[in-house]
Amino acid sequence: MKITFDIIISGCLTHCRHCYVNGGPAKFTSTKHLLNNLPRIKNLINMLEDKVGTVDIWFDYEPLSHPEFATIVTAFKKEFPSKLDFTNMEWPTTGISLLRHSYRNGVNIIALRQLNVHQIFFTFAGYKDSHNQHVKRQHAFEDQIEAIKLLHGLGFRPSARILLTNDIVHELPLLFQTLQTLPLEHRSIRVSDYVPTDRIRSLEQFRPTVEDVFPYLDSIIAFCNDHTQLFWEDFEMYSEAALCEKILKEYSATTTFEDIESCLPEWIFLTLDSDLRLYHGNAGQFTWYIGSVVENRNKKIIEKIIDFGPNYHYAAFFKELKRLPIPLEVLKREPYSGRKIYGNEHDFLLKCLDEYMENHSQLRKSLIQ
Ligand code: SF4
Protein backbone atom coordinates (compact mmCIF):
# COMPACT_ATOMS: atom_id res chain seq x y z
CA MET A 1 0.00 0.00 0.00
CA LYS A 2 1.20 3.50 -0.84
CA ILE A 3 0.35 6.43 1.42
CA THR A 4 0.71 10.13 0.69
CA PHE A 5 0.82 12.25 3.83
CA ASP A 6 -0.04 15.73 2.65
CA ILE A 7 0.87 18.55 5.01
CA ILE A 8 -0.89 21.86 4.50
CA ILE A 9 1.06 24.71 6.03
CA SER A 10 -0.61 27.56 4.13
CA GLY A 11 -3.37 28.37 1.69
CA CYS A 12 -2.73 29.85 -1.75
CA LEU A 13 -2.11 33.35 -3.04
CA THR A 14 -4.66 32.68 -5.78
CA HIS A 15 -8.19 31.29 -5.77
CA CYS A 16 -8.22 29.35 -9.03
CA ARG A 17 -11.56 28.46 -10.56
CA HIS A 18 -10.05 25.18 -11.81
CA CYS A 19 -8.78 24.11 -8.39
CA TYR A 20 -9.89 20.61 -7.53
CA VAL A 21 -8.88 20.92 -3.88
CA ASN A 22 -10.78 24.19 -3.31
CA GLY A 23 -7.55 26.06 -2.62
CA GLY A 24 -7.36 29.76 -1.85
CA PRO A 25 -6.09 32.08 0.83
CA ALA A 26 -6.07 30.42 4.27
CA LYS A 27 -4.25 30.74 7.54
CA PHE A 28 -0.68 29.62 8.07
CA THR A 29 0.10 26.69 10.32
CA SER A 30 1.79 27.89 13.50
CA THR A 31 5.41 26.84 13.10
CA LYS A 32 5.80 26.44 16.86
CA HIS A 33 2.70 24.21 17.13
CA LEU A 34 3.78 22.12 14.13
CA LEU A 35 7.35 21.64 15.28
CA ASN A 36 6.33 20.94 18.89
CA ASN A 37 4.18 18.14 17.53
CA LEU A 38 6.73 16.87 15.03
CA PRO A 39 7.65 13.91 17.31
CA ARG A 40 3.96 12.85 17.34
CA ILE A 41 3.75 13.19 13.56
CA LYS A 42 6.96 11.20 13.19
CA ASN A 43 5.64 8.50 15.47
CA LEU A 44 2.38 8.35 13.50
CA ILE A 45 4.24 8.05 10.19
CA ASN A 46 6.51 5.33 11.59
CA MET A 47 3.47 3.41 12.84
CA LEU A 48 1.76 3.81 9.47
CA GLU A 49 4.84 2.37 7.77
CA ASP A 50 4.84 -0.58 10.17
CA LYS A 51 1.15 -1.37 9.84
CA VAL A 52 -0.15 -0.03 6.54
CA GLY A 53 2.41 0.85 3.86
CA THR A 54 5.08 3.17 2.53
CA VAL A 55 4.55 6.82 3.38
CA ASP A 56 5.55 9.77 1.19
CA ILE A 57 5.36 13.27 2.60
CA TRP A 58 4.20 16.18 0.46
CA PHE A 59 3.45 19.86 1.09
CA ASP A 60 0.34 20.93 -0.82
CA TYR A 61 -1.32 24.20 -1.90
CA GLU A 62 1.27 27.03 -1.88
CA PRO A 63 3.68 26.17 0.96
CA LEU A 64 6.27 28.68 -0.28
CA SER A 65 4.03 31.48 0.92
CA HIS A 66 4.42 30.37 4.54
CA PRO A 67 6.82 32.92 6.12
CA GLU A 68 8.73 30.10 7.84
CA PHE A 69 8.66 27.54 5.07
CA ALA A 70 12.45 27.19 5.24
CA THR A 71 12.43 26.56 9.00
CA ILE A 72 9.70 23.93 8.61
CA VAL A 73 11.57 22.22 5.77
CA THR A 74 14.81 22.10 7.75
CA ALA A 75 13.05 20.52 10.74
CA PHE A 76 11.19 17.97 8.63
CA LYS A 77 14.25 17.16 6.57
CA LYS A 78 16.13 16.36 9.80
CA GLU A 79 13.42 13.92 10.90
CA PHE A 80 12.68 12.43 7.48
CA PRO A 81 15.90 12.71 5.45
CA SER A 82 14.92 10.16 2.80
CA LYS A 83 11.23 11.07 2.54
CA LEU A 84 11.72 14.70 1.65
CA ASP A 85 13.53 14.17 -1.61
CA PHE A 86 11.64 15.46 -4.62
CA THR A 87 14.37 14.79 -7.20
CA ASN A 88 11.97 13.26 -9.70
CA MET A 89 8.87 15.28 -8.92
CA GLU A 90 7.50 18.52 -10.28
CA TRP A 91 6.88 21.21 -7.67
CA PRO A 92 3.75 23.21 -8.54
CA THR A 93 3.66 26.91 -7.80
CA THR A 94 2.21 30.18 -9.04
CA GLY A 95 5.64 31.73 -8.47
CA ILE A 96 4.07 34.66 -6.65
CA SER A 97 5.59 33.92 -3.26
CA LEU A 98 9.01 33.35 -4.80
CA LEU A 99 8.88 36.76 -6.42
CA ARG A 100 7.27 38.66 -3.60
CA HIS A 101 8.88 37.00 -0.60
CA SER A 102 12.01 35.04 -1.15
CA TYR A 103 13.74 36.75 -4.02
CA ARG A 104 14.93 39.30 -1.47
CA ASN A 105 16.60 36.82 0.84
CA GLY A 106 16.67 33.55 -1.06
CA VAL A 107 15.72 31.37 1.90
CA ASN A 108 12.94 29.60 0.04
CA ILE A 109 15.27 28.87 -2.83
CA ILE A 110 17.69 27.28 -0.38
CA ALA A 111 14.77 25.32 1.13
CA LEU A 112 13.76 24.04 -2.32
CA ARG A 113 17.33 22.95 -2.90
CA GLN A 114 17.29 21.14 0.48
CA LEU A 115 14.27 19.21 -0.78
CA ASN A 116 16.14 18.38 -4.00
CA VAL A 117 13.50 20.13 -6.09
CA HIS A 118 14.72 20.58 -9.66
CA GLN A 119 11.53 20.68 -11.73
CA ILE A 120 8.90 23.33 -11.15
CA PHE A 121 5.62 23.65 -12.94
CA PHE A 122 3.22 26.47 -13.63
CA THR A 123 -0.39 26.34 -14.80
CA PHE A 124 -1.75 28.89 -17.26
CA ALA A 125 -5.53 29.29 -17.25
CA GLY A 126 -5.59 31.86 -20.05
CA TYR A 127 -3.66 34.73 -21.54
CA LYS A 128 -2.94 37.76 -19.33
CA ASP A 129 -6.28 39.19 -18.12
CA SER A 130 -8.19 35.94 -18.46
CA HIS A 131 -5.55 34.07 -16.48
CA ASN A 132 -5.61 36.77 -13.81
CA GLN A 133 -9.41 36.66 -13.64
CA HIS A 134 -9.52 32.86 -13.52
CA VAL A 135 -7.07 32.70 -10.62
CA LYS A 136 -8.49 35.86 -9.02
CA ARG A 137 -5.24 37.73 -8.64
CA GLN A 138 -3.91 40.78 -10.45
CA HIS A 139 -0.59 40.36 -12.27
CA ALA A 140 -0.60 36.59 -11.63
CA PHE A 141 0.14 35.94 -15.33
CA GLU A 142 3.01 38.41 -15.41
CA ASP A 143 4.36 37.00 -12.13
CA GLN A 144 4.39 33.47 -13.54
CA ILE A 145 6.37 34.60 -16.57
CA GLU A 146 8.88 36.40 -14.39
CA ALA A 147 9.14 33.47 -11.98
CA ILE A 148 9.86 31.07 -14.85
CA LYS A 149 12.76 33.23 -15.99
CA LEU A 150 14.01 33.71 -12.44
CA LEU A 151 13.93 30.01 -11.61
CA HIS A 152 15.56 29.03 -14.87
CA GLY A 153 18.32 31.54 -14.14
CA LEU A 154 18.82 29.89 -10.75
CA GLY A 155 19.28 26.46 -12.31
CA PHE A 156 15.75 25.02 -11.86
CA ARG A 157 13.87 23.41 -14.75
CA PRO A 158 10.48 25.10 -15.18
CA SER A 159 7.58 23.60 -17.14
CA ALA A 160 4.22 25.06 -18.10
CA ARG A 161 0.79 23.51 -18.46
CA ILE A 162 -2.17 25.18 -20.10
CA LEU A 163 -5.53 24.33 -18.56
CA LEU A 164 -7.80 24.38 -21.57
CA THR A 165 -11.34 25.73 -21.29
CA ASN A 166 -13.74 26.78 -24.02
CA ASP A 167 -13.46 30.47 -23.15
CA ILE A 168 -9.70 30.60 -23.71
CA VAL A 169 -9.26 28.49 -26.87
CA HIS A 170 -9.15 31.65 -28.97
CA GLU A 171 -6.23 32.87 -26.84
CA LEU A 172 -4.10 29.82 -27.61
CA PRO A 173 -2.09 31.47 -30.42
CA LEU A 174 -1.04 34.32 -28.11
CA LEU A 175 -0.30 31.95 -25.25
CA PHE A 176 1.79 29.70 -27.51
CA GLN A 177 3.70 32.70 -28.79
CA THR A 178 4.52 33.85 -25.25
CA LEU A 179 5.31 30.46 -23.75
CA GLN A 180 7.44 29.33 -26.68
CA THR A 181 9.91 32.13 -25.97
CA LEU A 182 10.40 30.93 -22.38
CA PRO A 183 13.00 28.41 -21.14
CA LEU A 184 10.49 25.62 -20.46
CA GLU A 185 11.47 21.98 -20.19
CA HIS A 186 7.94 20.64 -20.71
CA ARG A 187 4.99 22.30 -22.41
CA SER A 188 1.63 20.62 -22.05
CA ILE A 189 -2.09 21.20 -22.40
CA ARG A 190 -4.71 19.45 -20.32
CA VAL A 191 -8.41 19.58 -19.69
CA SER A 192 -9.58 19.82 -16.10
CA ASP A 193 -9.77 16.72 -13.91
CA TYR A 194 -13.25 15.97 -12.67
CA VAL A 195 -13.95 15.85 -8.96
CA PRO A 196 -17.39 16.19 -7.36
CA THR A 197 -16.86 19.58 -5.73
CA ASP A 198 -18.84 22.76 -6.29
CA ARG A 199 -15.88 24.55 -7.84
CA ILE A 200 -15.27 21.88 -10.46
CA ARG A 201 -19.00 21.43 -11.08
CA SER A 202 -19.22 25.10 -12.01
CA LEU A 203 -16.17 24.78 -14.24
CA GLU A 204 -17.95 22.12 -16.29
CA GLN A 205 -19.72 24.77 -18.41
CA PHE A 206 -16.24 25.77 -19.68
CA ARG A 207 -15.07 22.25 -20.52
CA PRO A 208 -13.99 22.32 -24.19
CA THR A 209 -15.70 20.22 -26.84
CA VAL A 210 -14.19 18.45 -29.82
CA GLU A 211 -15.47 21.29 -32.00
CA ASP A 212 -13.80 23.94 -29.79
CA VAL A 213 -10.45 22.21 -30.21
CA PHE A 214 -10.46 21.33 -33.91
CA PRO A 215 -9.41 24.75 -35.30
CA TYR A 216 -6.35 24.72 -33.02
CA LEU A 217 -5.50 21.03 -33.09
CA ASP A 218 -2.31 21.19 -35.18
CA SER A 219 -0.85 23.99 -33.12
CA ILE A 220 -1.83 22.21 -29.87
CA ILE A 221 0.02 19.09 -30.96
CA ALA A 222 3.02 21.16 -32.05
CA PHE A 223 3.07 23.03 -28.73
CA CYS A 224 3.01 19.96 -26.44
CA ASN A 225 6.35 18.26 -25.97
CA ASP A 226 5.36 15.69 -23.34
CA HIS A 227 2.87 12.79 -23.07
CA THR A 228 -0.12 15.14 -23.52
CA GLN A 229 0.86 15.33 -27.19
CA LEU A 230 -0.31 11.71 -27.55
CA PHE A 231 -3.59 12.59 -25.84
CA TRP A 232 -4.29 15.37 -28.34
CA GLU A 233 -3.35 13.20 -31.30
CA ASP A 234 -6.26 10.94 -30.31
CA PHE A 235 -8.39 13.45 -28.47
CA GLU A 236 -11.67 12.49 -30.14
CA MET A 237 -11.50 9.23 -28.19
CA TYR A 238 -11.95 11.29 -25.02
CA SER A 239 -15.26 12.94 -25.86
CA GLU A 240 -18.26 12.08 -23.68
CA ALA A 241 -19.85 10.13 -26.53
CA ALA A 242 -16.70 8.13 -27.31
CA LEU A 243 -15.93 7.36 -23.66
CA CYS A 244 -19.53 6.34 -23.03
CA GLU A 245 -19.45 3.99 -26.01
CA LYS A 246 -16.12 2.51 -24.86
CA ILE A 247 -17.37 1.87 -21.31
CA LEU A 248 -20.65 0.36 -22.49
CA LYS A 249 -18.70 -1.96 -24.75
CA GLU A 250 -15.92 -2.94 -22.34
CA TYR A 251 -17.63 -3.14 -18.96
CA SER A 252 -19.77 -6.14 -18.19
CA ALA A 253 -23.28 -5.90 -16.77
CA THR A 254 -21.93 -7.05 -13.43
CA THR A 255 -18.90 -4.73 -13.18
CA THR A 256 -19.23 -2.58 -10.06
CA PHE A 257 -17.47 0.59 -8.96
CA GLU A 258 -15.85 -1.54 -6.28
CA ASP A 259 -14.39 -3.79 -9.01
CA ILE A 260 -13.07 -0.77 -10.92
CA GLU A 261 -11.53 0.82 -7.84
CA SER A 262 -9.81 -2.45 -6.96
CA CYS A 263 -7.94 -2.28 -10.30
CA LEU A 264 -6.70 1.26 -9.58
CA PRO A 265 -3.57 1.90 -7.45
CA GLU A 266 -3.93 0.88 -3.80
CA TRP A 267 -3.16 4.30 -2.44
CA ILE A 268 -4.26 6.19 0.66
CA PHE A 269 -4.17 9.99 0.59
CA LEU A 270 -4.17 11.79 3.93
CA THR A 271 -4.26 15.54 4.53
CA LEU A 272 -3.04 17.28 7.68
CA ASP A 273 -4.60 20.74 8.09
CA SER A 274 -3.15 23.84 9.72
CA ASP A 275 -4.61 22.79 13.11
CA LEU A 276 -3.00 19.37 12.78
CA ARG A 277 -6.29 17.61 12.17
CA LEU A 278 -5.92 14.66 9.88
CA TYR A 279 -8.33 13.93 7.02
CA HIS A 280 -8.87 11.15 4.55
CA GLY A 281 -8.66 13.27 1.41
CA ASN A 282 -7.30 12.80 -2.06
CA ALA A 283 -4.36 15.08 -2.97
CA GLY A 284 -4.95 17.81 -0.41
CA GLN A 285 -8.71 17.51 0.09
CA PHE A 286 -10.41 17.30 3.46
CA THR A 287 -13.04 14.70 2.64
CA TRP A 288 -13.50 12.75 5.89
CA TYR A 289 -12.18 13.67 9.31
CA ILE A 290 -9.94 11.07 10.91
CA GLY A 291 -8.73 12.71 14.12
CA SER A 292 -6.43 15.24 15.73
CA VAL A 293 -2.76 14.38 15.66
CA VAL A 294 -2.38 16.41 18.85
CA GLU A 295 -5.32 15.04 20.84
CA ASN A 296 -5.99 11.54 19.58
CA ARG A 297 -3.88 8.46 20.15
CA ASN A 298 -1.98 7.32 17.08
CA LYS A 299 -3.33 3.80 17.52
CA LYS A 300 -6.90 5.11 17.17
CA ILE A 301 -5.95 7.22 14.13
CA ILE A 302 -4.38 4.24 12.40
CA GLU A 303 -7.45 2.08 13.05
CA LYS A 304 -9.57 4.73 11.36
CA ILE A 305 -7.20 5.02 8.40
CA ILE A 306 -7.31 1.26 7.90
CA ASP A 307 -11.08 1.36 8.16
CA PHE A 308 -11.34 4.13 5.52
CA GLY A 309 -8.94 2.26 3.19
CA PRO A 310 -7.54 3.44 -0.16
CA ASN A 311 -9.04 6.55 -1.76
CA TYR A 312 -7.52 6.78 -5.21
CA HIS A 313 -10.56 7.72 -7.29
CA TYR A 314 -14.24 6.81 -6.66
CA ALA A 315 -13.49 5.85 -3.05
CA ALA A 316 -12.10 9.35 -2.50
CA PHE A 317 -15.64 10.69 -2.58
CA PHE A 318 -18.03 7.81 -1.93
CA LYS A 319 -17.96 5.34 0.92
CA GLU A 320 -19.23 1.79 0.59
CA LEU A 321 -18.75 1.53 -3.15
CA LYS A 322 -20.77 -1.67 -3.15
CA ARG A 323 -23.90 0.41 -2.49
CA LEU A 324 -23.41 2.47 -5.65
CA PRO A 325 -25.37 1.64 -8.80
CA ILE A 326 -23.35 -0.24 -11.40
CA PRO A 327 -21.53 1.93 -14.01
CA LEU A 328 -23.66 0.66 -16.89
CA GLU A 329 -26.82 1.74 -15.11
CA VAL A 330 -25.33 5.18 -14.47
CA LEU A 331 -24.47 5.62 -18.14
CA LYS A 332 -27.63 4.20 -19.61
CA ARG A 333 -29.82 6.55 -17.64
CA GLU A 334 -28.27 9.60 -19.29
CA PRO A 335 -27.89 10.34 -23.00
CA TYR A 336 -24.13 10.73 -23.03
CA SER A 337 -23.75 11.73 -26.63
CA GLY A 338 -22.00 15.01 -25.74
CA ARG A 339 -18.74 16.21 -27.22
CA LYS A 340 -17.04 17.60 -24.11
CA ILE A 341 -13.53 16.26 -23.58
CA TYR A 342 -12.38 14.45 -20.43
CA GLY A 343 -8.85 13.47 -19.45
CA ASN A 344 -9.70 9.77 -19.09
CA GLU A 345 -12.62 7.39 -18.68
CA HIS A 346 -12.48 7.47 -14.88
CA ASP A 347 -12.93 11.25 -14.75
CA PHE A 348 -15.86 10.95 -17.15
CA LEU A 349 -17.42 8.12 -15.17
CA LEU A 350 -17.00 10.05 -11.92
CA LYS A 351 -18.79 13.00 -13.54
CA CYS A 352 -21.64 10.69 -14.64
CA LEU A 353 -21.83 9.16 -11.18
CA ASP A 354 -21.92 12.61 -9.60
CA GLU A 355 -24.79 13.62 -11.90
CA TYR A 356 -26.61 10.41 -11.09
CA MET A 357 -26.18 11.06 -7.37
CA GLU A 358 -27.56 14.58 -7.74
CA ASN A 359 -30.84 12.91 -8.64
CA HIS A 360 -30.59 10.39 -5.80
CA SER A 361 -29.98 12.67 -2.88
CA GLN A 362 -30.84 10.19 -0.13
CA LEU A 363 -28.39 7.62 -1.41
CA ARG A 364 -25.81 10.34 -1.95
CA LYS A 365 -26.19 11.63 1.58
CA SER A 366 -25.74 8.20 3.07
CA LEU A 367 -22.58 7.58 1.01
CA ILE A 368 -20.72 10.80 1.54
CA GLN A 369 -21.06 11.14 5.31
S1 SF4 B 1 -4.99 25.35 -8.31
FE2 SF4 B 1 -3.18 25.30 -7.00
S3 SF4 B 1 -2.63 27.46 -6.74
FE4 SF4 B 1 -4.73 27.44 -7.52
S5 SF4 B 1 -6.01 27.53 -5.68
FE6 SF4 B 1 -5.70 25.36 -6.18
S7 SF4 B 1 -3.96 24.65 -4.97
FE8 SF4 B 1 -3.98 26.92 -5.03
pLDDT along the chain (369 residues), means of 10: 95 95 93 97 96 94 93 95 92 91 75 94 98 97 96 96 98 98 97 95 97 98 96 97 94 92 95 96 87 94 95 91 91 81 96 90 77
CA of 14 to the centre of ligand 1 (A): 6
CA of 362 to the centre of ligand 1 (A): 32
Which residues lie below 8 Å from residue 98, measured CB to CB, with a gap of 6+? 64, 108, 109, 147, 150, 151
Q: Tell which atom from ligand 1 comes closest to the C-alpha of 21.
A: 6
CA of 84 to the centre of ligand 1 (A): 21
Q: Tell which atom from ligand 1 comes closest to the C-alpha of 135.
A: 4
- Paired strand residues for 280: 270, 288
At residue 71, the pLDDT reads: 94
Q: Name the residue with the closest Cα to ligand 1, atom 7.
A: 61
At residue 104, the pLDDT reads: 56
DSSP of 117-162: --EEEEEE-SSTHHHHHHHT-TTHHHHHHHHHHHHHHTT-EEEEEE
At residue 285, the pLDDT reads: 84
CA of 195 to the centre of ligand 1 (A): 14
CA of 133 to the centre of ligand 1 (A): 14
At residue 290, the pLDDT reads: 96
Q: Tell which atom from ligand 1 comes closest to the C-alpha of 15.
A: 5
- Mutation test residue for ligand 1: of 9, 62, 134, 195, the one with most atoms within 8 Å of CB: 62
At residue 284, the pLDDT reads: 78
Q: Name the residue with the closest Cα to ligand 1, atom 5.
A: 23
CA of 94 to the centre of ligand 1 (A): 8
Q: b/e for 94-119, b at 16 or more Cβ within 10 A?
A: bbbbbbebbeeeebbbebbeebebbb
Q: Tell which atom from ligand 1 comes closest to the C-alpha of 284.
A: 7
- Paired strand residues for 269: 4
Q: b/e for 181-200, b at 16 or more Cβ within 10 A?
A: eeebbbbbbbbbbbbbbebb
Residue 361: in which H helix or E strand, if any? helix 361-368
Domains of the chain: 2-235+257-318 (3.80.30.10), 236-256+319-369 (no CATH)
At residue 125, the pLDDT reads: 98
Residues flanking ligand 1, CB < 6 Å: 12, 14-16, 19, 21, 23-24, 61-62, 94
At residue 98, the pLDDT reads: 87
At residue 102, the pLDDT reads: 61
At residue 156, the pLDDT reads: 96
At residue 336, the pLDDT reads: 78
Cα Rg, the chain, nearest whole Å: 21
At residue 335, the pLDDT reads: 65
CA of 18 to the centre of ligand 1 (A): 8
CA of 19 to the centre of ligand 1 (A): 5
Q: Tell which atom from ligand 1 comes closest to the C-alpha of 22.
A: 6
